C-alpha cells in the first residue's frame, strides 16, 4: 500500500510491511536550505566563526546537560524556569553585536556599539551571578544541572537571536 503525502516540499511514502509502518522521507529543497546558503555567502567570516564556535560549544554543553539532567533527576518545573531565564538572557545578549549590512563588502557584519557594550556588561554580570540565580530555585545535586541548563540555554538564545538578526538584515536588503 503506497500513500503519497505532499506538505511544504516534503514527500513522504509509507509502506505497510508485515503490519508495521515503515516511513521513507525524501526532503526536497526547502526555503530553510536556501536561507542557510545565503547566510554563509552573505555574512562576514568573523561573524560566521563566532556563530560556529557558539554552536559547537552549545552542542557539547547540550549533550553534557542532558546527561547531567538524567543523572540528577532535576524537577521539570525547575528545568523549564532555568530554560526560560537562559533563553531570555541569551536573546537579549545577542543584541551585543550590532549586525548591519556593509555596502562596501556586500556582507552582513557585526560590531559592538555603545548599546552592545552595555549589554555585554549586563551579560557578564548575569554570568557572574548565575550560581546565585540557580540557588534561588535549586539545591543539592540538582544545582549543577540547573546551572548547566542556564549556560546552555543562554548560548542557545544568543545563537537564535544572532541568526534571526542576520536573516532580518538579509531580508531587509532583499537578498532572501
pLDDT digits (tens, 9 = 90+) for 101-113: 888 888 888 888 8
How many domains in the chain?
2
- pLDDT category at 55 given cuts 50, 70, 90 is very high
Which residues, in sequence order, are bridge partners of residue 3?
Answer: 14
Within-domain flag for 107: yes
Residue 38 lies in a domain: no
Band (pLDDT 50/70/90 cuts) for residue 80 is very high
Contacts of 123 (CB under 8 A, 6+ apart): 89, 92, 93, 96
pLDDT of the residue at 39: 76
Secondary structure element (H or E) that encloses residue 142, with its range: helix 142-172
Which pLDDT value is given to residue 87?
Answer: 95
Residues 127 and 163 in one domain: yes
Q: Do 159 and 51 meet the contact criterion of CB atoms below 8 Å apart?
A: yes
Same domain, 59 and 107: yes
> CA 162, CA 97: separation in Å to the nearest integer?
8
121 shares a domain with 49 = yes
* pLDDT score recorded for residue 37: 62
Query: 71 and 153, same structural domain?
Result: yes
Share of the chain above pLDDT 70, in %: 76
Residues 16 and 67 in one domain: no
pLDDT higher at 168 or 40: 168
Distance CA 94, CA 124 (A): 13
Q: How far apart are CA 92 and CA 114, in angstroms?
A: 15
- Find the domain containing 127 and state its range: 43-172
Distance of alpha carbon 40 from alpha carbon 159, whole angstroms: 15
Does residue 130 sit in the same domain as residue 156?
yes
Q: Name the more confident of 43 and 87.
A: 87
Least confident of 2-16, 35-49, 76-90, 145-159: 2-16
Shared domain for 83 and 114, answered yes or no, is yes
All cell numbers assigned to 54: 557558539
- Give pLDDT, residue 119: 85
CA angle 109, 127, 73 (to 5 degrees): 115
Question: 2 and 83 share a domain?
Answer: no
Co-location of 19 and 47 in the same domain? no
Amino acid at each position: 500500500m503506497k500513500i503519497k503525502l505532499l506538505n511544504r516540499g516534503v514527500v513522504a511514502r509509507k509502506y505497510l510491511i508485515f503490519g508495521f509502518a515503515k516511513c521513507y522521507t525524501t526532503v526536497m529543497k526547502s526555503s530553510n536550505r536556501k536561507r542557510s546558503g545565503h547566510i554563509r555567502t552573505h555574512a562576514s567570516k568573523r561573524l560566521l566563526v563566532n556563530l560556529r564556535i557558539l554552536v559547537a560549544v552549545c552542542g557539547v554543553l547540550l549533550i553534557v546537560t542532558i546527561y547531567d539532567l538524567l543523572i540528577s533527576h532535576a524537577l521539570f518545573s525547575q528545568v523549564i524556569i532555568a530554560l526560560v531565564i537562559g533563553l531570555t538572557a541569551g536573546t537579549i545578549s545577542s543584541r551585543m553585536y550590532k549586525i548591519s549590512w556593509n555596502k562596501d563588502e556586500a556582507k552582513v557584519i557585526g560590531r559592538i556599539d555603545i548599546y552592545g557594550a552595555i549589554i555585554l556588561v549586563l551579560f557578564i554580570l548575569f554570568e557572574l551571578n548565575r550560581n546565585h540565580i540557580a540557588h534561588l530555585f535549586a539545591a543539592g545535586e540538582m544545582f549543577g544541572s540547573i546551572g548547566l541548563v542556564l549556560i546552555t540555554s543562554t548560548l542557545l538564545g544568543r545563537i537564535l537571536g544572532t541568526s534571526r538578526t542576520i536573516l532580518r538584515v538579509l531580508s531587509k536588503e532583499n537578498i532572501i
